[in-house]
Structure 1
Amino acid sequence: MLFRRYFLPTWKRFPLLDRWIFGELIAPLIFAISAFTVVSLSVGVMFDLVRKIVESGLPVLTAVKVLGLRLPSFLVISFPMATLMATLLAYSRLSANSELKALRSVGISTKRMIVPAIILAFFMTGLTFIFNDVIVPRANRSAEFTLQRALGRAISTEKGDDIIYSRFGKITTQDDKDKKKGLSQLFYAREFRRGEMNGVTVLDFSRYGYTQMLTSKKAIWNEKLAKWEFLDGQVLTTTPNGSTTSAEFDKYLYPLSSAPIRISKLPKDANNMTVQEAIQAQKLYAEAGNRKEARRMKVRIQEKFTLPMACLVFGLIGSSLGAKPNSRTSRSQGFGISVVLILVYYVLSFSFSSLGVKGTLLPFVAAWSPVVISMLGGWALLQQANR
């Protein structure tokens, strides 16, 4: 009832030409999403889960649940590829059946014909962004939690493992006058559980020639004093002349920010972060003076937006290629062409991303250059098909 009341009137407002081409696009889009998702899911997750079922006794129902939770992350990968394959197949079939030729004979340009494909590509772009920023991070965390709990490994809601925090700042030289910048502190904790850092080691290089190593079984952040409380540990100091002093302690206050706690709560993989979490991580690295990690996170933040834009890029390229006169592409050929174009695009993206992380290019330029280059290539193909 609601479908007839709200959707049908809106759908009928679209020109008949657009509705017809949309209808031609839906079937190959569903086919392509299914094909790419099944292939990537089988290679990426299914084989590993089967191994855990056999070797570690993972319950089959739990494996199915984990598989379902991991599905969104592979759909995000499939959406751009499916958009390319769907537009290429649909327009190739229409061209092979001389239906596009008939449209040209009545004065409809190729640019007008691909408007439905561009609208569909915009829709897939928005869908990919929502999946990648809202659904995938939460689903991946739930999948990890479910898997680890089923395998009998302790999981806390507030946790982190192998927390590493590097702080870069000014290092005081021997005469206490000249100062230079470099790594001043390196914080490591084996795990973070219920507000406590366990198995903590801190290396302090803030004084030139001196190295201080602080180890403790436990460390707690003191909010009032804005310092770390290290419990049951030892301090070892080496001087420029090579002498060493050590002292044991029950409690030791150390001036360092609470950044290690905030870092421990963030996913290690930027792909599992939301845009907000990635921005938070970038700020933490910037505050610590870790320029390389801050620059890497800037690139990853931009890639949160450029990944969905691949749908628009592939929609333009696929429809332009398929709409060329006398274009004849079968499903197997379309799959092969799609794989080649996708490979080229992602190699280009990876290359520019590496240049951005290295600092050769600005993060914005590094992330968006593949999109701009590919869009220009798609526009050139469209101009050729429109002749």
Structure 2
Amino acid sequence: MADNKNNNERNVPHLRFPEFSGEWKKCKFGDIATGFDYGMNAAAKPFDGENKYIRITDIDEASSTYNDKDIVSPDGRLTDNYVVNDRDILLVRTGASTGKSYLYRKSDGKLYYAGFLIRANITEHNPYFVFSQLHTHRYWRWVSIMSARSGQPGINSQEYSSFPIFTTSLHEENKISTLLSLLNERIVTQNKIIEDLKKLKSAIVDKLYSSAKGETYSFRQLFEVVNEKNKKLIYSNVLSASQELGMIERSDINIDIKFEQNSISEYKIVRKGDYVVHLRSFQGGFAFSDRTGICSPAYTILHPNDLVAYGYLSHFFISKPFIKSLKLVTYGIRDGRSINVDEWLDMTVTLPTKREQSHILAIINAIDNKLHNENQIHNYMFRQRTYLLKTMFI
């Protein structure tokens, strides 16, 4: 790769294959694409076995892939005018997903596109090269400006056609597209590895806990409900509940909730090894804390006794069988559902010896370590793609 950061030519990317030189050409999206046609205005119906809709929810922005696991068919008059074709780019024109895009692949099969999508057909240039420019910071800055002019975000076909696109020789476009598409395919594969590992972990957790042998205890025999307030302001790090990570620092998930410093005197102290009953019962409602801090006064803090190995129930509390069992002690509707802790404490669990608990934890932690490593690989590749999109385009 050639580094052109010191190049005085205005329309030259910072990073470039060494065999190419000269300025790129600036044009409008509409100059290199035909169509910009709106999709059909029709509702969705159950899949008829042949005709498929492509919807916003079917498009994974992170991996630029189409997911048709929840297939529906268009309910209306079907014409080939609304079929997505090779070299077509679909663009979302209204709503919170405005700006989202998708490049059709032949492997997707026959798809119809809806009224919220605009189709643009790339003519004389590499469609993946053009599509990649719709994932750059420059593009998303443009989307932010264009879609923020009214209460309902939206960009129409004429406005999309005016977006500035840079082009170069077809040889260079093909080479850049090959590199980026190979990297993207690897990211898709990595996503599949991670999802398969998560499914494996879930199955193993269910099996290990459901087949565990030992004594039967009520949760009341294993936990003490504690409501220790932060009266002396000893702690200032606020923790939040996360389904997969347990209790984590609020700052780590970019949540910035303003509050008076004195108000944290009413927050509850969570100590390392405690479990926290939060409000999201559909996620299990119980989060393990591997750190000490404070949390919302609305949460219930459970301190385990010596019968429970450190962290043993953290995986059990997010397992499907446990979440299903909470229906007996959960009240309310939708996300406002709450767990009746006093009733839950009378429910029972089979608890093996601490040695067996440690053995079960070791198995699950090994999978967690593998998941952590695979997530790190994914993050490295994702950052690499972000870097290339920033430096290989103008």
Q: Greater share of strand residues, 1 or 2?
A: 2
TM-score bin, normalised by smaller chain: under 0.3
Q: Greater share of helix residues, 1 or 2?
A: 1
Larger relative contact order (Cα-Cα within 8 Å, sequence gap ≥ 6): 1
Tell me the TM-score normalized by structure 2: 0.25
Tell me the TM-score normalized by structure 1: 0.25
